[in-house]
Amino acid sequence: MAAVVSNSSGTELYMDPTKDLCINDVVLSTPQCYAEEETLVQSPADNNARNRNETSIVTEIASSAAMGQSAEGNLPSSDMKLWTSQRDSEVKLRLEDSGVASLPPVTIHQLFQESVNKYGDYLALASKQGDQWHKLTYKQYYEQCRKAAKGFIKLGLERYHGVGILGFNSAEWFIADVGAIFAGGFAVGIYTTNSAEACHYVAQNCEANIIVVENQKQLQKILQVQDQLPHLKAIIQYKDELKEKRPNLYTWNEFMQLGKDIPDSQLDQIISSQKPNQCCTLIYTSGTTGQPKGVMLSHDNITWTAAAAGKTVRLREATDMQETVVSYLPLSHIAAQMIDIWLTMKYGGATYFAQPDALKGSLANTLREVRPTAFMGVPRVWEKMQEKMKAVGAKSSTIKRKVATWAKGVGLETNLKKMNGSAPHPMKYHVAKKLVFKKVRKALGLDRCTKCYTGAAPITKDTLEFFLSLNIPVYELYGMSESSGPHTISLPDAFRITSCGKVISGCKTKIHQPDSDGSGEILFWGRHVFMGYLNMEDKTYESLDEEGWLHSGDIGKHDENGFLYITGRIKELIITAGGENIPPVPTEDALKEQVPIISNVMLIGDKKKFLSMLLTLKCNVNADTGEPEDELTPEAIGFCRQIGSKATLVSDIVGGKDMAVYAAIQEGVNSINQKSTSNAQKVQKWLILEKDFSIAGGELGPTMKLKRPVVAKMYKDQIDSFYQDAVTPTENITPPK
């Protein structure tokens, strides 16, 4: 049975799920539309001949069987829109007539209840307390969430109001999140790196009735702005003892007892009134280019995405073999939330919580102890692993280094052949696996891990090939908060170096207005596409076009096999004074690969006569504060020795003190300039900064993604100095002193 759609003229069309659709732009995995016997679809080569508004892909809900029902059997009205900016609105769901996108919609509670029925006695959450792991089964986890929901109701949580959660990953974080949803509120993660003012913005925007904080440090932020939050009724601290008693301030244990007189029937009535097409969670963007936006995710956004993504990556149900993950990335970010909370819940996985100082060094110990079956690391995590492994390798004996080099060559060759379709496993591969690969995996705690992922920021080809050479393929995935997390994913039998894979089951990708190279803005379609931005109708309309496609703001293209490659972001695109468009990431990554001492690079040149760069060097990080230190990393020191430098500190180099390092960097710049297709793409000036970028310093976001506007503002004087001369400098300039 074909699903009914309509075009802009009102003509009824039909979706044939067996055919592909191309509407002006390039579309993958889309049903073909036809009106009676006449096809309305053209091939990709003829895309430009059609107006992009000619077909509106708005899937009507054909029947209650296709839609699925909430606990009370409520169905959305047929005249609903696909998007909203109102907290209490419902949206039309993007169901298809067949396949994964036709799965019946369910609420968070329905998903959890199904998991409890399947995996009730299986391990759900594990928290380290001293030397012991405190564990909760799925039954216990569910009951704790109900207790939390009753506590929120007792504290006066209003429907469609926020419960802010400010703290490091923990069982309490999960329970507060799910409990808030059960109680009819919104779960709202707040980044632990936020200032008091940033916390105020989020809490005020979501009209938070309750805020859950980890400790005294986070509590102080809320207390500073408490008087400016008219909707706030209570604060709950889930770790450590309270330093002082205050009205409406509770410990976690006190909070969990508050709702004991709330009858189950009262909570069940709230739960049964919830619908899959209503908002349940707010994910706030990092706000690098303005105020953070509250991304409204529906029950269906979350529950369907968990089901579809899990199916795509072939997650196993706990009844078959339980998946295990380590939770350490910020839960206020959609990637961590989707993997750690929702995917594990859907498939009965076990989530172990890392220590709060995970990104400062303790993560390695947790990985070795837990030995996860799936691991998600942002690029900087993989890069740090790479640096440490290189440092250890440099101290090995000559024989061990030679064996490792040989094994890595074998590993890279074998995995590249496998990637391209052949699967040779010669004897030398098995020898390398026994001598090196197994030992490396065990040392990293990844000996059971069959799914290593990266996302949230660009990763270099050098890092991907480094791990591939050690027989640890790191699969890229791509998505955004507005797509409930993943949109494309790489798989063991379908991946390419530097590609972020193919679209997940039940979703669609379109390249909007592709140029001669096939590059254009990446557009998303699917049940994972968000409801809208809370209280921001104009921003919602900017992101969702009239057909309902989500405009990602990213530039990319597909290869002949359908693999997606990201080439940059529209907002990051540098447009020089001469009008040339230059994506910064490829140039930045190329220099980091050329010169291993470089940690971070930011290309500059928007509305300028030429390109310049800010550079930082690889240095150690203070384990307590997260601040970069003056001491170079072992890898950086090793590089210095190779080029004849005796430097051990960043301060030994900056300001032109070590010309050997400056010459090496200039050589790297010259190398990438030689590969430039025009003079406008050549880097003319650069400067080494005194400190590396960091989350603590504000230059990097919570997932260690470069915050370009922040860096540009912080180093405005240095950037301005590049362009004080009216005359464009020549190539191969003398390094600045």
Q: How confident is the model at residue 571 (pLDDT cuts 50, 70, 90)?
A: confident
| 50: pLDDT strictly greater than 50 | no
Tell me what pLDDT residue 43 has. Answer: 25
Give how far the C-alpha of residue 483 lies from the chain's centroid of Cα atoms, to the nearest Å: 10
- What is the mean pLDDT of the segment spanning 663-679? 89
Instruction: Judge whether residue 45 has pLDDT over 60.
Output: no
Among 188, 390, 411, which residue's Cα sits nearest to residue 283?
A: 188
Q: What was the pLDDT predicted at 395?
A: 84
Q: Could you tell me the pLDDT band of residue 426, with boundaries at 50, 70 and 90?
A: confident
| DSSP calls for 363-411 | HHHHHHHH--SEEE--HHHHHHHHHHHHHHHHTS-HHHHHHHHHHHHHH
Res. 103 pLDDT band, cuts 50 70 90: very high
246: number of CA atoms within 13 Å, CB side? 18
Looking at residue 287, its pLDDT comes to 61
pLDDT at 68: 38
Q: Say what the pLDDT of residue 208 is.
A: 98
Res 404: pLDDT: 92
pLDDT for position 726: 42
Q: Closest Cα to residue 163, out of 145, 189, 142?
A: 189
Strand 249-251 vs strand 234-237: parallel, antiparallel, or unpaired?
A: parallel
How much is the average pLDDT of 475-497?
Answer: 94
pLDDT of residue 303: 98
**Mean pLDDT calculated for residue range 546-550:** 92
Q: Alpha-carbon distance 474 to 441, whole Å?
A: 13
Q: Which two tokens stand for residue 653?
A: 């180099």
CA–CA separation, 275 vs 77, rounded Å?
12
Q: Please indicate whether residue 11 or residue 586 has the higher confidence score (pLDDT).
A: 586
User: Crossing angle of helices 108-119/171-182, nearest 10°?
Assistant: 130
pLDDT (tens digit, 9 = 90+) per residue, 183-219?
999 999 999 988 999 999 999 999 999 999 999 999 9
- C-alpha 194/C-alpha 216 separation (Å) is 15
The predicted structure's pLDDT at residue 265:
97
Most confident of 105-119, 398-412, 507-521, 657-671: 105-119
| pLDDT score for 424 | 67
- φ, ψ of residue 5 to 5 degrees: the values are -135, 175
| Residues of the chain above pLDDT 90, percent | 67
CA neighbours closer than 13 Å in the CB half-sphere of residue 585: 21
Closest to 105 in 3D by CA, of 290, 274, 321, 222: 274
DSSP per residue, 147-162: HHHHHHHHTTPPTT-E
DSSP-H helix ranges across 273-378? 299-312, 334-336, 344-347, 363-370
| DSSP SS3 for 491 | strand
Buried b / exposed e over 165-185, threshold 16 CB at 10 Å, is: bbbbbbbbbbbbbbbbbbbbb
Check residue 650 and report its DSSP letter: G
Query: Judging by DSSP bridges, how do beta strands 532-533 and 294-298 pair with one another?
Result: antiparallel
Could you tell me where in the chain the CATH 3.40.50.980 domains are found? Answer: 137-274
Longest pairwise C-alpha distance within the chain = 77
How does residue 459 score in pLDDT terms, banded at 50, 70 and 90? Answer: confident
* Cβ pair 425, 434 in contact under 8 A: no
Confidence category of residue 517, pLDDT binned at 50, 70, 90: confident
Give every CB contact of residue 480 below 8 A, 6+ residues apart in sequence: 334, 487, 552
Q: Please determine, for residue 662, whether its predicted confidence score (pLDDT) is greater than 80.
A: yes
pLDDT above 60: residue 716: yes
At a CB cut-off of 8 Å and minimum separation 6, what does 104 contact?
65, 66, 67, 68, 69
Give the pLDDT score at 319. 95
Q: Can you give 160-211 as a three-state secondary structure string? A: CCEEEEECCCCHHHHHHHHHHHHCCCEEEEECCCCCHHHHHHHHHHCCCCEE
Give me the mean pLDDT over the 612-639 stretch: 90
Token couple for 195:
């200032």
- Predicted confidence at residue 83, as pLDDT, reads 94
730, pLDDT greater than 70 = no
**671, 665 Cβ separation under 8 angstroms:** no
Reported as a single tens digit per residue, the pLDDT across 127-143 is: 999 899 999 999 999 99
pLDDT at 543: 94
pLDDT above 90 (res 382): yes
For the full predicted model, state whether its pTM sits above 0.85: no
Residues of the chain with CATH 3.40.50.12780: 123-135+302-529+548-571
Angstrom distance (rounded) from CA 455 to CA 500: 8
Give the confidence band of 609 by pLDDT, cuts at 50, 70, 90. confident
328-363 pLDDT, tens digit per residue, is 999 999 999 999 999 999 999 999 999 998 888 899
- Average pLDDT of the segment spanning 428-445: 93
Structural contact between residues 611 and 593, judged by C-beta atoms closer than 8 angstroms: no
**The CATH fold of domain 123-135+302-529+548-571:** Rossmann fold (3.40.50)
Q: Which of 14-18, 272-276, 339-343, 494-498 has the lowest mean pLDDT?
A: 14-18
Angle formed at CA 266 by CA 260 and CA 267, multiple of 5 degrees: 75
Take residue 302 and report the two structure tokens written for it: 């979350």
Q: Any idea how long the chain is?
A: 737
CATH for the 574-722 domain, from 3.40.50.280, 2.30.30.830, 3.40.50.11540, 3.30.300.30: 3.30.300.30
Position 66 scores a pLDDT of 35
DSSP code at position 495: -
Position 34 pLDDT exceeds 90:
no
- Above 70 in pLDDT, residue 710? yes
Residue with more model confidence, 39 or 367: 367
Amino acid at 658: D
Cα(458)–Cα(463) distance, integer angstroms: 11
pLDDT > 70? residue 5: no
Name which of 543, 613, 533 is nearest 571 in CA terms.
543
Strand duo 374-376 + 451-454: pairing: parallel
Summarize the confidence of residues 587-601 as an average pLDDT. 92
Query: What pLDDT digit, counting tens, does each position of 286-338 carry?
Result: 765 568 999 999 999 999 999 999 999 999 999 999 999 999 999 999 999 99
Tell which residue, 454, 392, 408, has the closest CA to residue 633: 392
Quote the mean pLDDT of the chain: 86
CB 144 within 8 A of CB 175: yes
Domain 137-274 in CATH 3.40.50.80: no
What pLDDT score was predicted for residue 725? 64
